[in-house]
Copies of this chain bind each other. A is one copy, B any other.
Amino acid sequence: MTYDSDAARAFSRANGDRFLQELFEMLRIPSVSADPAFAGDVQQMADWLAEHLAALGLDKAAVMPTAGHPVVYGEWMGAGPDKPTVLVYGHYDVMPAVMEDGWDTPPFEPVVKDGKVYARGVTDDKGQLFIQVKALESWLSTAGAAPVNVKLLLEGEEEVSSPNLVPFIVDHMDLLRADVCVISDSSMRVIEEPAVTHSLRGMTYLEVWVKGPKEDLHSGFWGGATYNPALALAEILSKLYNPDNTIAVPGFYDDVVPLSDAEREMIARNPLTAEQFREATGVPGLWGDERYTIRERVSARPTLDINGLWGGYAGPGPKTIIPAKAGAKLSSRLVGNQDPHKIFRLIKDYIESIAPPSVVVEVKLLTTGKPALIPFDLPEMQAAARAYERGWGYAPLFTRGGGSIPVVAELTDRMGIPVVMMGYGLDTDGLHSPNEHYSIEMFERGIETAIVYLEELAALPR
């Protein structure tokens, strides 16, 4: 059998409009994993994907149950045992999105404007997982085969930190066995500078609740002698950081592997200036631990952020109550070798130690994810570099990603295979934000790069 990536690439270009229309079908399904109200939509998205994979001729295409939202699986093993097997991981769930968050158009009705598609999940991760699906389709439709065996593992809980993915992997080790895993769920700074992410931050996500009176109180009758839970919460949160913007939780940094001079030099090749940061985010000014560059702070250093807080009355006009309770969601982005469960215990112990009297404080763990670090001199990583040069048109940087994809560390640890993160998004795509969008040009280049990568993997010495 001969493989001709030029024919597959030509096919992908000729079918670009259809690929986009299919992507729009996915984007119209609001597969929000965090909110139980959308459980039916998540299921519908999984069904759609499994049917799509079956229609492309994949074997074992199925929606597979977990304790939460299901996994979609499908495989093409026609390259035979002499060829490597690549496990493609992606996620079909998306972050919550409502117009009131600041969207210009409805988040689940894709709109094309200036060469970009606007919709929740278009870059994270529906568009990027679809790149992998369409690359495989392009091989099968032209050569009748792909250069390597391909297994697709598409999950529906990535945006809630994948609580059921590790049990699924453990239960299906034989089914999922592969030589390398590829994930397209990351991004680059500019189109001319694609990035292979070799490091991801982990996560500890928790909630803090402060409880005082048994119900909301009239602030005139009881104000002056009641410790306001919202005040107590503010006092706790105000003590998370030291004046130098380092995290005040004792022991928090103990397990952080210091950055070497060599690594700091590599990071410096992909700088992020204060001007770029302000431009992209709109913040009035920069912030953080000034011993580190901005790029280091957002990718190679751990964080502790307030993701939400609430308590009492937030509606229109005045309401004169003392809230019965107040709460906050906190999450810490972790770097090697921080352990998410140890970090939770440290934060919990610290918050309990500073909790004021006259209120009850509870600290609850929501989710965790381990940080990951992949050596970039592995053959599968270098093959990715060649695929970008040929398919995308530019050689990639190897970078540290600030975000978290919990499955990466799990796949590396449990299956003993390298995970190659070939991101096809832009840092400025607005993922997790209103008006998330994705460039059609990058969608098309991504498919061609993914086509070439399968060819590069097939050519590696075994």
Contacts and interface: CB of A to CB of B under 8 A. Distances in A.
Contact of A298 (B201, B224, B320, B359): B224
B201 A220 contact: yes
B231 A360 contact: no
A397 interface: no
B427 A320 contact: no
A421 to B, nearest CB: 13
A228 B305 CA distance: 7
Interface stretch (A72-80, A144-152, A275-283, A381-389): A275-283
Contacts of A227: 283, 285, 287
Contacts of A286: 225, 358
Interface residues of A, number: 102
A23 interface: no
A326 B309 contact: yes
A211 to B, nearest CB: 8
B34 A230 contact: no
Nearest to A187: B221
A34 B317 CA distance: 5
Interface string A153-174: 0000001110000000000000
A329 B322 contact: no
A82 B228 CA distance: 52
Given A306-B312, A308-B313, A308-B319, A216 B434 contact: yes
B317 A160 contact: yes
A223 B160 CA distance: 18
Contacts of A318: 34, 160-161, 205, 307, 329, 331, 366-367
Contacts of A225: 277, 286-288, 294, 297-298
A291 B93 CA distance: 57
A284 interface: yes
Chain B CB count within 10 A is highest, among A161, A234, A297, A299, for A234
A194 interface: no
A271 B34 CA distance: 50
8 contacts: A160-B317, A215-B435, A216-B432, A224-B333, A226-B283, A308-B311, A308-B321, A321-B433
